[in-house]
């Protein structure tokens, strides 16, 4: 492992990775383990968005909120958690889970697996070439013998609204790292970031207003999921407004003044902070794509091995969020394991036949992407939604079950509310989609993922006996409901 200084130098490696988030780290780990010399280029913190501004801090903020919500439904415990959360302690926990934004442990890990690190901004400079500008002003010119992997991820995408560019506002980064709860927090959006941050900051003392363009929350999931989350947010005191858009934004008195949001229904909303949670954009605007004939700022389409399909020569890979296949850290790491194996196999001249390459391609991104929304209640899904299944042209049976009917749900918390949905391919007799919404359902997700990925026939699932009394008993009830 080395850090470049101010002098210009040239180096050659088997593999060059641009981006040291979890995806880049996994690509580098796999290629280095295969005996390929590997260097990672990173302009920010090693560990990336997930470690410092997304997965880790957001879940650290949410865990106390969800634990308290569950505890308030447990006799003998609800009185002990009747008061407000200790905001200072929650934020301190968040800081610890984010390693206080210190990447030294991640840097040490790279060194432990013999992967070099160059800090600086890396840009493609033609096929298999990367030029790095270091923080000290130096230049390092890298040449890859076999592959360059782009693992730069995504950044928050904000709408092109009048006044927004001149108005200080939150994106997901500010929402997960804020050092205090704003008195009034407006959140624009109705997806995962919007609902999770609404859940967190409402519980931490903010008066939250959600402004949602769609007619429901979590529009890419089953409708019942967004309805349950919306109901819970309103019960917690949040104002959830559906079917409304923001047309203009203004902040009075500089960066510390109130922010006014002008709405398409003619109304206005005044808040202390505004979070725009309106999507993600690829971090490819300044990585030299033009030097290889690609457009800066574009998503990078790939095949199942992570190889960029728009670039000849079989040397450029795009792994993780940047390829837009599945914008989740766990899926990006999965892709990284496949891409790392593919890079090593191609470097060794291994024939790309189906028998040998089955372990080198990512297939789950199109059929079995597990996804948890850590709201109250939790939402967990994998595979197809009902709408996606209908659009696929398959013959699908939809099986719903009220989770509140389970003994395990009543043991979990009083007043349990939740729904489970299983989608069955009627011709093949296998599960192709599952969605659970309710407290504690995240732990149901892997069993559903295994059933879908393994294409386990329903006749075999009958013999996977769930323990009593647990929420996992829903599998038995779904099968019974399906069989009638």
Does residue 407 belong to any structural domain of this protein?
yes
Q: Are residues 291 and 147 in the same domain?
A: yes
Beta-strand pair 430-437/379-383: antiparallel
Q: Which range of residues forms the domain containing residue 258?
A: 172-278
Long-range contacts of 101-108 (CB under 8 A, 24+ apart): 101/45, 101/52, 103/45, 103/46, 103/47, 103/51, 103/52, 106/20, 106/25, 106/45, 106/46, 106/47, 106/51, 107/1, 107/46
* CA 419 to each of CA 24, 225, 440: distance values in angstroms, whole numbers, following the listed order: 37, 8, 12
Q: Are residues 290 and 436 in the same domain?
A: no
Q: Are residues 255 and 337 in the same domain?
A: no
pLDDT confidence bin for 354, thresholds 50/70/90: low
The answer to pTM > 0.75 is: yes
Q: Are residues 306 and 200 in the same domain?
A: no
Q: Are residues 272 and 300 in the same domain?
A: no
Q: Which residues contact 463 (CB under 8 A, 6 or more apart)?
A: none
Mean pLDDT of the chain: 95
Q: Which of 258, 278, 298 is the last residue of a domain?
A: 278
CATH of the domain at 408: 3.30.390.30
Number of domains in the chain: 3
**Lowest mean pLDDT across 22-26, 224-228, 252-256, 478-482:** 252-256
For a pLDDT cut of 90, what percent of the chain falls above it?
A: 91
Does residue 237 belong to any structural domain of this protein?
yes
CATH of the domain at 209: 3.50.50.60
Q: Quick check: 362 pLDDT over 90?
A: no
For a pLDDT cut of 70, what percent of the chain falls above it?
A: 97
- Can you give the pLDDT at residue 254? 75
- Can you give the pLDDT at residue 75? 94
In Å, how far from its chain's centre is CA 100?
21
Q: Are residues 211 and 295 in the same domain?
A: no
Q: Are residues 133 and 256 in the same domain?
A: no
Does residue 459 belong to any structural domain of this protein?
yes
Q: Tens digits of per-residue pLDDT, 398-445?
A: 999 999 999 999 999 999 999 999 999 999 999 999 999 999 999 999
Q: Quick check: 4 pLDDT over 50?
A: no
Does residue 293 belong to any structural domain of this protein?
yes
Average pLDDT on 273-289 reads 97
């Amino acid at each position: 492992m080395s850090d470049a200084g101010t002098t210009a130098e040239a180096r050659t490696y088997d593999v060059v990775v641009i981006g040291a988030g979890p995806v880049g780290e996994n690509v580098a780990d796999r290629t280095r383990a295969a005996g390929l010399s590997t260097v990672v280029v990173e302009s920010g913190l090693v560990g990336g968005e997930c470690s410092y501004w997304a997965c880790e801090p957001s879940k650290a903020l949410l865990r106390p909120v969800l634990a308290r919500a569950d505890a308030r439904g447990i006799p003998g415990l609800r009185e002990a958690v009747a008061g407000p959360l200790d905001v200072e302690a929650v934020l301190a926990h968040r800081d610890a889970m984010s390693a206080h934004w210190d990447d030294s442990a991640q840097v040490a890990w790279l060194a432990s697996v013999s992967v070099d690190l160059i800090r600086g901004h890396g840009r493609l400079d033609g096929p298999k070439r990367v030029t790095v500008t270091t923080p000290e002003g130096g230049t390092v010119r890298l040449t890859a013998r076999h592959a360059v992997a782009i693992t730069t991820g995504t950044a928050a995408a904000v709408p092109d609204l009048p006044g927004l560019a001149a108005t200080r506002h939150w994106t997901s980064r500010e929402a997960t790292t804020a050092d205090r709860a704003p008195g009034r927090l407006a959140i624009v959006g109705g997806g995962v970031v919007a609902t999770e941050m609404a859940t967190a900051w409402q519980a931490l003392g903010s008066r939250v207003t959600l402004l949602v363009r769609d007619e429901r929350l979590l529009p890419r999931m089953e409708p019942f999921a967004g309805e349950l989350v919306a109901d819970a947010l309103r019960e917690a005191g949040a104002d959830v407004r559906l079917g409304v858009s923001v047309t203009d934004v203004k902040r009075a008195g500089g960066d510390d003044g109130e922010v006014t949001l002008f709405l398409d229904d003619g109304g206005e909303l005044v808040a202390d902070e505004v979070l725009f949670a309106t999507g993600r954009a690829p971090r490819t605007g300044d990585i030299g794509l033009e030097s290889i004939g690609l457009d800066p700022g574009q998503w990078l389409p790939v095949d199942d091995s992570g190889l960029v399909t728009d670039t000849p020569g079989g040397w450029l890979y795009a792994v993780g969020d940047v390829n837009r296949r599945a914008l989740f850290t766990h899926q990006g790491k999965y892709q990284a394991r496949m891409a790392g194996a593919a890079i090593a196999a191609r470097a060794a001249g291994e024939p790309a036949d189906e028998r040998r390459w089955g372990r080198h391609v990512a297939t789950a991104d199109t059929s079995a992407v597990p996804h948890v929304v850590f709201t109250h209640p939790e939402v967990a899904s994998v595979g197809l939604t009902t709408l996606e299944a209908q659009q696929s042209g398959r013959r699908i049976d939809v099986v719903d079950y009220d989770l509140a009917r389970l003994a395990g749900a009543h043991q979990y918390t009083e007043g349990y509310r939740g729904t489970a949905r299983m989608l069955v391919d009627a011709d093949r007799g296998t599960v192709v989609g599952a969605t659970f919404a309710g407290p504690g359902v995240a732990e149901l997700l892997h069993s559903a993922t295994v059933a879908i990925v393994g294409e386990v026939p329903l006749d075999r699932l009958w013999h996977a006996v769930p323990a009593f009394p647990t929420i996992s008993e829903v599998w038995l009830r779904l099968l019974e409901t399906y069989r009638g």
